[in-house]
Each structure stands twice: as C-alpha cells, then as structure tokens.
Structure 1
Amino acid sequence: MTGDWARYWRAADRPLEAMHAHFERHVYHRHSHDAYSFGVTEDGAQTFRCRGAAHTSAAGMVMAFNPDDPHDGRAVDALGFTYRIVHIGPEVVADVLGDGAAAGLPLFPRPVLHSRVLAGALRRLHRDLLDRASALRRDESLADAVLAMGGLGAARPVRPRTAPSRRDSARIVARAREVLDSTPEADADLGTLAAAAGRSRHAVYRAFHQVYGIAPSDYQRERRLRRARRLIAEGTAPGDAAAASGFADQSHLNRWFRRYYGITPGVYARGTSDAAGSR
C-alpha cells in the first residue's frame, strides 16, 4: 500500500495554488506550468530533470521553476519525500512587485536554491494558504515569499521602489484604516486596502510597517480582539462574540485572546460577571 498523500488549495479569484504532499511511488511525467512554481522539500529527497540536467532537492532546499519550465520528478529512494509547492501566476507576481516589475519579471536560472530565508518564507506562505489564515495574512505571506524569491534567487533581481515618505505612508494607512475600522469582521485582503488607498498592495504593507511597526493583518486582528472583548464584557457569549468579530470559530478566538491578554475569553467573561456581582 502506497504512503502517498496530498493536500491542495486553490484561490477562487486569482492564479494561486498550493500543495502539501508526500510521495513514495508517484512519478511525475514531464510537464510544465503556466505559472511560477516554488517548492521547499521538508523531508527526504526528490530528483528531477529540468533544462537538460538532473537535479536533487533534499530537505531544506528550494525549487524554483519559471513559467513553462518542463520538468519531471520522483523520490530518490523508497522512503519518499515530503514537500510544499505553490504555483503563482505571473500577473500575481507583477502585482506584488508593483513598481519593481517595470524592469521585468524575475527569472530563475537554477532550479534548486539553498537559502534558509527562502525556505522559511515559502513554509509560512504554504501554512497560511492551506490553513485558515485571514485573507490579509495570506496576502502578506505571499508578498514576503515573492520578494524573497525575486531578491535572492533570481538572475534579474527585482525589488519594489524604496519605501514612501512617512507622510505618504500616513495617508495610505489612514485610508486603509477606514476599511479595517468600519468592518473589522469582514475578511478584507490587501487588494481591498490597496484600492481604498489608491496604491499597490505592497505599498500598503510597507506603510503599515512604517507607521505602526506591524502588518495590516496584525492591526486587523487587534481590532477584532478589541471588538470581541467589548462584546463579551457586554454579556455576549464567547462563541457569538467570535463570529461577530470575524474569527473562524471560538477556538480561533481563544487562541489569539490568550496570546494577547494572557487569559481565555471564558475567564474574561467570568471576571466581568464577578465584578458586576460584587457591586
């Protein structure tokens, strides 16, 4: 019996797909994608042919395929390999790079790269895509991964222009905040914030870091937690407060509530009741 397994995720609104898989017997027929394909090997090793040569990707190594790069793939031995791979359409890469894409999209001359930074960025992106991270967090991880790949692995590195002035960043953040503050429960993404600010996705991302020192997703999560905390203080059950504040479920709220405040929503709710009863 084969030990092969795979989990797959696909965006509904843009060319962005991700897979986490373990293959022992599966052998990829020679093929290509109409997207960039970035993968990181987690365990074992896989071998493949690409651009006329054989390559091996072992644990911690990163694979980088340009659009229309023919390649195959199989396990090196019977133990198989586990890896994460993401397929990103060229238009998504261009959108992330913004002004930096004016010089042309990145090209990757080496199908296998050795970089802890790239491997770490890809792991974070995959986990955020395949798990239930917010739309903002997925966009931020995507930007981090694309920028890391374009800056460290490409033959023609491309980077966005330098950060905007603090005054410009303040204007960008103010417009984006209107969206996040008015509907903290809505699953807004960087595209929504960029449209409100009239700037690129990455400009919004950089502006939040420059003004607040945190990512837009952190700002959104904090607003959601404040709303949930207020609702619980008013007597709303934690599960209902989680749904009304934009959390996936009560366990999701519990996890972040404790990380931010050191207690669970239940403890906070009981504390409010005790305080009311002591008057």
Structure 2
Amino acid sequence: MTGGDPEAREWTRYWRSAELPLEAMYASFLRHRYHRHSHETYSFGVTEHGAQTFTCRGAGHTSAAGMVMAFNPDEVHDGHAAHELGFTYRIVHIGQELITDVLADMAGRAVGLPLFAAPVLSSPVLAARLRGLHTVLSRGAGPLERDESLASAVAALTRLAARTPAPPPAALRPTAVPRLAAKARELIHDRYADPIGADDLAAWTGGSRYAVYRAFRSAYGLAPSEYQRQVRLRAARRLLALGHPAARVAGEVGFTDQAHLTRWFSRSYGVTPTQYRLARAG
C-alpha cells in the first residue's frame, strides 16, 4: 500500500435534490465497510478506480473500474474495498416514482418498472450515461439539463434491463412474502421508533418468536431488528433533508442518542447525518 494517512484518503461528496427523490454521491473508500442495508430507491453506481466487493441476493460480487452496480429498491447489500488500494465510485439514487414518470413520458403510457437480474453490469454506454447524470446533478445544473440527462440515463438502464432475464419471482414479489413476515413488517413500520421486542412481534402475528424471525429473514433478507434499524434510518434521512438537527432526529426516530444514529448512518450510507443534512440541494 502506498504511504500517507489512510483516513485522509477517504472522502465523500454528497448532493440531493430539494424537490425530487434524487441523490448522488462521489466517494473514495479504503477502510470503510458498508453494513448490510438497502434503499427505497433504485441505486446505480459506477466504479471509477479500484474495485468494490459486496454481497447481494446471497452471493458475492465485485465491481471493478468501469463496471456498473445496479440495485433494485429494497435489495440488501453491503460493500468494502476489494484490495488494499481502496476504490472510488459514483452512485445515483433515483426514486421509483421518478423512474415511473420518466418511463411513462418516454412511452406515452404507463409502463412497469424495470428489474435488474444482476447487481453488476458491464456496459460502457450505461456507465457513461450515469457519469453524465452524476456530473449534471453534482454541479447543480438547471432543471432542463437535469431532466434531459435523467431521461438519457433511464433509457439506457431500461434497455439493458429488458435484455436480461427478470429476477426470480420470489425475490421481489410482495405476494411471495409469508403472512407472518408481512404482519411483522406492518408492526415495525407502524411503531419503528418504539422498543419492539420478539414477544411483541409474536403476539401481533400469532406465530412463535422463532417462526416470525425465520419467515422475516427469508422474506426481507434482514433480521427484524436490522429491518427496524433500516426504517429508522430512512425516517432520519427524511427529517435531516428537511433541515432538522441530528441530535433531535436521533431521539425522534428511536436511536439512543446522536452518536448511535451517526454510527449506523455512516455504516449504511457512507456519510454522517450532518453531512447529509448539509448536502447541497437543488
């Protein structure tokens, strides 16, 4: 490994839209390890230098320079540097409703959302479109240029998705979720800031604690406690985007204190809550 302070070689730059479900990050990581997490949005990353390795859908994957990472909404994944030289990448998070609107406008009618069968794609065209979109967003381009770049990237994404087989139905289909898991998820969403216990989930669903845990882990890829933390983190993102201070947000969404929120926010998203709140919006 080359000399220099490893911590100084890690940096992040974050941008988010004030009015659209659209965010972008440019980052370089050496030691940072993403904890298992997911996003409500589609997330598309382009590895610029080095390589990132991660697990998704029960298997390991590596994205080297020039490759694209494509995560469907709610797909659980982690990530870290594949070797001691670290990695640099750009990632764009695009809300499902935004992609729906773009596709409907392009087709002149309502169309289904694309699903990506593989989390790592090799497509120079798509990588270029995503880099272009990321650049347009991060430099604060006007609405017209932003919309044009977004449409170009979404068009490239959907063309690529159409040429690949759809994911296994059970992976993303709500009807495939067992009743116990769906009921437990309902309670977690309703009371995410509360100290829910295994007995609470069992009583609410009518199943045993073990049965609920096993069904939930199978359906959503996370233990109920991990999923509750994800719901809390998503609530924190919404409040931080509105300008609420991290210390107050931590208590409102169920974290013990600001340090607890900061630790898990950074592990999941690569930036601190304060960095996210102060990210340039436009």
TM-score calculated relative to the size of structure 2: 0.54
Partner of 2:40: 34
Once residues 165 and 135 of structure 2 are traced to their aligned partners in structure 1, the CA distance between those partners, rounded to angstroms, is: 28
Partner of 1:75: 81
Deviation at 1:77, TM superposition (A): 1.1
Please tell me the residue identity of whatever aligns with 2:90: R
Of 96, 103, 117, the match for 1:109: 117
Please tell me the residue identity of whatever aligns with 1:69: E
Partner of 1:14: 20
| Seq. identity, % | 65
1:44 aligns with 2:44: no
Once residues 150 and 80 of structure 2 are traced to their aligned partners in structure 1, the CA distance between those partners, rounded to angstroms, is: 27
Partner of 1:139: 147
1:84 aligns with 2:90: yes
Aligned length: 157
- Contact persistence 2:117–2:165 (CA under 8 A): no
Once residues 98 and 71 of structure 1 are traced to their aligned partners in structure 2, the CA distance between those partners, rounded to angstroms, is: 29
Partner of 1:237: none
Once residues 47 and 25 of structure 1 are traced to their aligned partners in structure 2, the CA distance between those partners, rounded to angstroms, is: 13
Over the aligned positions, Cα root-mean-square deviation in angstroms equals: 1.5
Please tell me the residue identity of whatever aligns with 2:116: F
1:150-161 matches, within 5 Å, as 150-154=158-162, 155=164
- Contact persistence 1:106–1:156 (CA under 8 A): no
| Deviation readout 1:228-277 (Å, 9 max, x if unpaired) | xxxxxxxxxxxxxxxxxxxxxxxxxxxxxxxxxxxxxxxxxxxxxxxxxx
Partner of 2:214: none
Of 86, 104, 128, the match for 1:120: 128
Deviation at 1:138, TM superposition (A): 1.1
Once residues 165 and 142 of structure 2 are traced to their aligned partners in structure 1, the CA distance between those partners, rounded to angstroms, is: 32
| Deviation readout 1:107-163 (Å, 9 max, x if unpaired) | 001000000110000000000000132221111111111110011134479xxxxxx
Indicate the SS of the match to 1:102: coil
Partner of 1:62: 68
Larger C-alpha radius of gyration, 1 or 2? 1
Indicate the SS of the match to 1:33: coil
Partner of 2:248: none
Deviation at 1:78, TM superposition (A): 1.5
- Contact persistence 2:42–2:70 (CA under 8 A): yes
| Deviation readout 1:78-102 (Å, 9 max, x if unpaired) | 2110000000000000011016473
- Contact persistence 2:103–2:111 (CA under 8 A): no
| Deviation readout 1:159-203 (Å, 9 max, x if unpaired) | xxxxxxxxxxxxxxxxxxxxxxxxxxxxxxxxxxxxxxxxxxxxx
Please tell me the residue identity of whatever aligns with 2:47: T
- Contact persistence 2:104–2:111 (CA under 8 A): no
Partner of 2:101: 95
Once residues 122 and 105 of structure 1 are traced to their aligned partners in structure 2, the CA distance between those partners, rounded to angstroms, is: 18
Indicate the SS of the match to 2:98: helix
Deviation at 1:10, TM superposition (A): 0.4
- Contact persistence 1:48–1:54 (CA under 8 A): yes
| Deviation readout 1:206-241 (Å, 9 max, x if unpaired) | xxxxxxxxxxxxxxxxxxxxxxxxxxxxxxxxxxxx
In structure 1, list runs of 5 or more residues that go unmatched: 158-279
1:228-243 matches, within 5 Å, as none
TM-score calculated relative to the size of structure 1: 0.54
Indicate the SS of the match to 2:19: coil
- Contact persistence 2:47–2:67 (CA under 8 A): yes
